[in-house]
Amino acid sequence: MSGITIEIDGLQVEAEQGETLLSVAQRHGHAIPHLCHMDGLTPAGNCRACVVEIEGERALAASCCRTVKAGQKIHLQTARVQRSQKMVLELLMANQPQTPRTRASELTQWCETLGVTGSRFAARPQPAPDRSHPAISVQLDACIQCMRCVRACRDEQVNDVLGIAGWGADTRISFDADDALGASSCVACGECVQACPTGALTPANGAALQEADAVVASVCAYCGVGCQLDYRVKDNRILEAVGRDGPANHGRLCVKGRYGYDYVQSAERLTVPLMRREGVAKDPADIALVRQGRKPLSDLFREASWDEALDFAAAGLRQLRDSHALGADSPLAGFGSAKGSNEEAYLFQKLVRLGLGTNNVDHCTRLCHASSVAALLEGIGSGSVSNPVADVAQASVILLIGANPSSNHPVAASFIKNAVKAGSTLIVADPRRAPMARFARWHLAFRPDSDVALLNGLLHTIIAEGLTDPAFIAARVNGFEALKASVAECTPERMSEICGIAPDVIREVARCYATAKSAMILWGMGISQHVHGTDNARCLIALAMITGQIGRPGTGLHPLRGQNNVQGASDAGLIPMMLPNYQRVARAEVREQFEALWSAPLSPTPGLTVVEIMHAASEGRIKGMFVEGENPAMSDPDLDHARRALAGLQHLVVQDIFATETALLADVILPASAHAEKWGSYTNTDRLIQLGRPAITPPGDARQDLWIIEQLGRRLGLPWAYWKEADGRGHAAAEAPTARVFEEMRQTMAPLAGVPWSRLQRESAVTTPVAREDEPGERVVFHDHFPLADGRSQLVPATFTPGPEQPDGQYPLVLTTGRVLEHWHTGAMTRRATALEALAPAPQLNIHPEDAAALHLHDGQTVALRSRHGQVQAQVQLSREVQPGQVFLPFCYWEAAANLLTGDALDAVGKIPGFKVTAVRVAALTIRA
C-alpha cells in the first residue's frame, strides 16, 4: 500500500495511489452496483449505477472512474446514493425484454440486490434480433449501452468492429457500417459476448439460458498461446467456453477457443475399436470416397472388442520388432501428437523406444518449427523461447516476421496490438499483407524465399554503421568475426535486388531495431517452413546477439509455437535424435541414465524424421507404424507420395478420436479421448506448463490415450503399471495415472524440478524452468549466460541460396500454404466444430486482382491449381493480402488438400519441408458437356 488513507462509511481503510473508489470498496467487502465497469476494461463511468457520495462535493461521483485522494470521506449507503442507484436501474429496466436473454444478467442481479422490482418508465422501440452469425446471437432489446462490448472489441482485442450508430432514442450498438453481424468484419473472438452484462450478445447455441451442472477450469485445445478457460457443462455436454484469467490470456479467447469445442460431441467420433475387413485393400482413393459420403466407413472396417483390437495391433508391431536386432535399421516408426498432453508424449516416445526398439519417433514440430529449434539449440543451447509473448508490452520495437498471429495466435496478436497502441513500434516482415500489417510502421513485403537476403542486409547495416553492442559481443558471443565477414558484401543495395525491399528501408529498419531500448523478435512458420529455414532462424539469432537484445524484459527471441503442446511434446522427447529434455540419444552417458531409469536397453542410432520415415516406408524399409493423434495423410508434403507410403505399410495402427485421412489407411483404429475428456499437462509457447482437467467423459467405448498406450506397451512386453485397477477401465479420466507419468517425467527433465504434480494441481500454471517448488519460475531466461559449454552464444553465418521451387513459364505463380483463423492444422477437430465450419466451410485460393484479371478469373470461381507435384480445385478469393505473382491456400481442407501440391525437399539441418514456396499455375476449369 502507498499509505493513502480514506474513510468509507465511517471506517478508515488503506488504498493504493491511482486506485479507484470502486476497487477500494470492493477490496474491503462493500458491494456497489456497477454495469459499465468490468475488470480489464478502461473505466467509462457512463451507466452511473456505481455512484457514491464524497463528503464536500456537490454531485454524486461514479466510483468506477474516480481515484482516491488522501483524507476522502466516502458514503455508500445514504438515502441520496440509494435513490440515485435505484433510479438508474429502473430506467435501464424499462427497456429490458419480458423474456430474459441470459440467466446471468448483471442488471437483474443488481435489481434484486437493491429491491428494484419494475419500472415506471415507458420502453423505447427496440431493434429486431440479428441471427446472421453462426456463433453469436444479437438481441439488442436487452442492450443497456454500457459500452463494455465496444471497449472489449476496441481496447482489448483491437478488432475495431463494434461502435455506436443512430441518434437519440435510436442510438444502438453497431457492427462496422451498421452491418448485420454475419456480414461484418467480426472475427468472432467473443470478447463482446463475455463482456455483455445483460444477454444482448450471447452464444448462438442458447447456452446463456441454460444452467450448467458444473464449471471446469481447463486450457484451450488449439494454438500454442495456451489460453485458460472454463467449460460450462450440462448432461455430459459442453454448453460454452468462457475465458479464464490465466497468465497467457488474461480472460481473452479467440473464435476457436470460444466456439470450437463441440467437435467433441460430433456424430463422427470414434466410439468402438475398428479393424480392417479381411480382403479390403488399403487404397488412398478411399479417402475422397469416404469424405464425400460415397463409401461408408463400415465398408472398410468392422467393429472389434478392445482385447481383440489391442492384441491384433500389438501382434503386428511385435512381429516386425522381433525381425531385427536392437540398433539395426528398424522397420518400425511412431508419430506422436503435439495436441496431446505432456504425459502422453512422454509415454508414447518411451513406448516406441522400448516397446518397438527404435528411435524412429517424431511429431508435427518436424513440419512446423524443427528448423527454428535446430538453430536455437545450435546458437543459444535451448529450443525454448527467451521471453513470453506478454513481454511485447515492455518492448520498444517488435519485429514480427513470417507470422500471421491474427489467424494463428489471435490472443497473442491482441497483446501485440495493445503494445502498439501504447507506443511500441511494430515491424512486420512477410510477403503477405496479413492483418497485423495495418498496425506496423513498416511492412516489409519481401519476395518469397528471400528471407536470408533481407536479414543479411539488416545485419550488414548494423555492423557497418557501428550499431552493435560491443560489450555484449565480447562477453557472450562467439563467431562475430565470421558473421561480419560473411555479410560484408550484403549491402542493402545488393540485398534489395534479391528481396525487393528498398535499400533505404532496410537501413531504417536496421537502425530502428539496433538502437531500440528493448527489441523483441517473434516469428512463425513463414520463417521455419523453408528448405533454408534453419538459415532464416540463424539470422534472427544473430540480430539479437550482435545488438544485445536478449536476456531482459521486452527483448529476446520467440518462435510462436503452432499447436497447444508442441513445446511440451518436444521437451518430453518426441524427437528422433533426442530423449526427454533434448538429451541426445547418440551420447552413451545419456543413454545409460535413461536405461537405468527405464530398466531396458536403448538403441544408440538416432531415428528418422517425419518425411524421412515416409520415404523409408515408400521404399519398403519402414513396414509398420503406430500413429497417435497425428494425421500425416493430410499434413505431410507431397501427399500423393505420403498416402501411397502409408497404404503400403504392412501394419498401421492409428489411435485417434476421428477416422482421419490417416486412419482410413489403417489396419486397426483405436478410439481415443479428446482434450476436454482427460487429465494432462500442456506446455505453451511461453514455457508455461498448465493443467487440463476433464470436463466430460468420452463417448461410447472410447478410452483414455494414456490407457491405450500402456495397454499396447504391456502387450509388447513392457512391465508398466501407471494405470492401476483402482483407476478404472480406461474410459473415464483418472488423475492418478497421469500424475504417475508426470512424476516419472520430472526425473528426466531438470526444468520441471520445482513443479510436482501437487503444485500444478494447486496453481494450474507454472512457468518453467523452475528449480524449486517455492520459486515462481523464470519468465525471462539467458540473463547472464546461454546453456552451451562455455556459456556463450554461437553465431552461424547464412548465405542466400534460392530454393528448389522457382516459378517459370509453366508454373509462374508462387504458392504459400498456411492456416486460416477459423480452422486448425488438418481440420480434424475444427471442421467438425459447428460454428467454425459454418464460418469457413470451403477452401479459397487468395489471388491478387491483377493476376486474376490477367487469367480472366472472377471472385468465387472454381479453378484448378497445379504444381509439379499434384493438383487441387478451389474457389477464387480476390485479395490484396497477397502480392502479384503469389497465391495462398490453407491446408486444412480435404477437398483441396494443399499439401498435394507441395514438394518434399528438406532443410538440410532441421529436416523440415519447404511448405511456403511452391511454383504453381492457376486456370479456370474446363466444363465439358
Q: What is the pLDDT of residues 644-677, one digit of tens each?
A: 999 999 999 999 999 999 999 999 999 999 999 9
**90, 161, 174: which is closest to 127 by C-alpha?**
174
**Closest among 521, 551, 554, 553 to 539, alpha carbons compared:** 521
How does DSSP classify residue 650? S
Among the listed residues 887, 838, 605, the one whose alpha carbon sits nearest the alpha carbon of residue 134: 838
- Residues 723 and 706: their CA atoms lie apart, in Å, by 8
User: Whose CA is closest to 334, among 566, 574, 568, 562?
Assistant: 574
The closest of 409, 357, 304, 213 to 713, measured between CA atoms, is: 357
332 three-class SS: strand
pLDDT value, residue 370 = 87
Contact 456, 487 (CB under 8 A): yes
Q: Specify the pLDDT at position 360.
A: 97
Q: What is the pLDDT of residues 61-91, one digit of tens each?
A: 999 999 999 999 999 999 999 999 999 999 9
Q: Which helix (H) or strand (E) holds 401?
A: strand 397-401
All three cell numbers of 903:
514438394
Q: Is 653 helix (H, G, I), strand (E, B) or coil?
A: strand
DSSP 3-state assignment of 84? helix
Backbone angles phi, psi at 878, to 5 degrees: -65, 130
C-alpha cell at 168: 437519440
Short-list 560, 564, 584, 580, CA closest to 572 = 580
Length of the chain: 929
Distance CA 445, CA 451 (A): 10
**DSSP collapsed to 3 states, 104-136:** CCHHHHHHHHHCCCCCCCCCCCCCCCECCCCCE
| Cα–Cα distance for residue pair 391/399, rounded to 1 Å | 13
Q: How confident is the model at residue 306 (pLDDT cuts 50, 70, 90)?
A: very high
* The C-alpha cell that represents 909 in the structure block: 539441418
- Please state, as a whole number, how many other Cβ atoms lie within 10 Å of the Cβ of residue 39: 9
Q: Which three cell numbers stand for residue 611?
A: 518425411
Which region among 95-99, 166-170, 460-464, 494-498 has the lowest average model confidence (pLDDT)?
A: 166-170
Cα 430 to Cα 461: distance, rounded to the nearest angstrom: 20
**What burial class does residue 430 get, using C-beta atoms within 10 Å of its C-beta: 0-12 exposed, 13-18 middle, 19+ buried?**
buried
Worst-scoring range by mean pLDDT, 27-31, 120-124, 338-342, 365-369? 365-369
Whole-Å CA distances, 578 to 372, 590, 790: 15, 10, 21
**Nearest-10 Cα torsion for 417, 151, 161, 146:** 180
Q: Which residue has the cell 528471400?
A: 450
pLDDT of residue 326: 78
Residue 776 pLDDT greater than 70, yes or no? yes
Query: Among 40-54, 687-701, 724-738, where is mean pLDDT lowest?
Result: 40-54
813-818/918-924 β-pairing: antiparallel
Which residues touch 265 (CB under 8 Å, ≥6 apart)?
237, 238, 699
pLDDT for 470-491, tens place per residue? 999 999 999 999 999 999 999 9
928, pLDDT greater than 50: no
- Tell me what pLDDT residue 929 has: 38
Q: Round the average pLDDT of the chain to a whole number and report it.
A: 95
User: Of all residues in the chain, what percent carry a pLDDT higher than 90?
Assistant: 91
With residue 765 as reference, give the H or E element that holds it. strand 765-767
pLDDT surpasses 50 at 1? no
Does position 576 have pLDDT exceeding 60, yes or no? yes
